[in-house]
């Protein structure tokens, strides 16, 4: 597996842990607001072989508390199994970010005890994914991923990037009902500073929701999940 990036330290990518972040390349989604446009398109400025990553992780034992794997979409490459296995063999917990489009692979990773934390994005109500995916059957895949994660992941969170025009009171409430009973739902504030996959996206009008609206969305989602937070 070729990794496109390595962030050596992060305090925010693995809840409760100081981690490094590994970036995979390529994505099967087309989210207009994607901040990792180069990675999503499969264009990568650097390459890291697995052996180089393992040497780095070996040297950071005792300093790092976990490894976060993000993308792009990490589940597109079957090499994710070897990567997780190698990272865990060094004693690091693994956190995986995913768009939820590969439920079968998620199930295997969980059943083989290769992931310790899964963060799945839910970008919109599941029947309204056309701005994000060209797959007409994505609804079923996402539903299966949500069920799989809630039933069997060791720890997890669902996340929604709150950007206009995709997110409003109705969409957040619908999503929260879809994941009713979930351990954790995170509403992410959109950052309008980075260039998006669709370069026109953040130039038309500011897609950022004001803090007051973020609080309102949180209050709407809270009744359906164990914990809801704004990040």
User: Which span (14-22, 42-50, 69-77, 149-157) binds ligand SF4, by CB under 6 A?
Assistant: 69-77
Ramachandran class of 25: left when φ > 0, alpha when ψ lies in -120 to 50, beta otherwise: beta
Q: Which one of residues 24, 36, 145, 160 is an interface residue with ligand SF4 (CB under 6 A)?
A: 36
- In order, the DSSP letters of 172-219 are HHHHHHHTTT-S-EEEEEP-TTSPPSSTTHHHHS--BPPHHHHHHHHH
Token pair recorded at residue 163: 């950007």
**Nearest distance in Å: CB 182, ligand SF4:** 19
- Using CB under 6 A as the binding rule, the residues of this chain from 192 to 211 that contact ligand SF4 are 197
Residues 168-187 that bind ligand SF4 (CB under 6 A): none
Residue 69 C-beta: closest distance to ligand SF4, Å: 12
Radius of gyration of the chain (CA): 17
Q: Are 134 and 35 in contact (CB under 8 A)?
A: no
Region near ligand SF4 per CB under 6 A, out of 2-10, 71-79, 85-93, 215-223: 71-79
For the bound state, the minimum distance from the C-beta of residue 31 to ligand SF4, rounded and expressed in Å, comes to: 3
Q: Tokens representing 182? A: 């979930």
Whether the CB-CB separation of 213 and 47 falls below 8 Å is answered with no
CB of 119 to ligand SF4, least distance (A): 11
190 lines the binding site for ligand SF4 (CB under 6 A) = no
Task: List binders of ligand SF4 among 38-57 (CB under 6 A).
Answer: 40
Kindly state the tokens that stand for 127: 């029947």
Choice from 66, 71, 74, 93 touching ligand SF4 (CB under 6 A): 71
| 119 is a site residue for ligand SF4 (CB under 6 A) | no
d(C-alpha 119, C-alpha 184), whole Å:
10
Judged by CB under 6 A, which of 31, 53, 118, 225 binds ligand SF4? 31
Cβ partners under 8 Å of residue 70, min gap 6: 13, 21, 22, 23, 24, 36, 97
* 72-91 residues near ligand SF4, rule: CB under 6 A: 72-73
Judged by the rule CB under 6 A, the positions of this chain that interact with ligand SF4 are: 27, 29-31, 34, 36, 40, 71-73, 99, 197
């Amino acid at each position: 597996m070729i990794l496109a990036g390595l962030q050596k330290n992060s305090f925010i990518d693995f809840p409760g842990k100081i981690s490094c972040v590994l970036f995979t390349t390529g994505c099967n989604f087309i989210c207009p607001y994607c901040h990792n446009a180069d990675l999503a398109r499969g264009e990568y400025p650097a390459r890291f072989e697995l052996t180089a990553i393992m040497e780095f992780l070996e040297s950071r034992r005792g300093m790092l508390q976990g490894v976060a794997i993000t993308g792009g979409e990490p589940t597109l490459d079957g090499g994710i199994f070897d990567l997780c296995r190698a990272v865990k063999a060094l004693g690091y917990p693994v956190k995986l970010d995913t768009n939820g489009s590969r439920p079968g692979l998620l199930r295997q990773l969980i059943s083989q005890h290769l992931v310790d934390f899964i963060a799945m994005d839910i970008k919109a109500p599941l029947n309204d994914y056309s701005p994000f995916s060209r797959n007409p059957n994505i609804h079923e895949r996402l539903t299966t991923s949500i069920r799989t994660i809630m039933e069997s992941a060791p720890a997890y969170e669902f996340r929604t990037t709150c950007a206009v025009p995709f997110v409003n009171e109705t969409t957040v409430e619908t999503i929260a009902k879809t994941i009713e009973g979930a351990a954790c739902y995170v509403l992410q504030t959109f950052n309008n500073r980075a260039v998006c996959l669709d370069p026109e996206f953040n130039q038309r009008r500011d897609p950022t929701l004001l803090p007051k609206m973020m609080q309102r969305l949180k209050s709407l989602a809270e009744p359906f999940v164990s914990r809801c937070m704004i990040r």
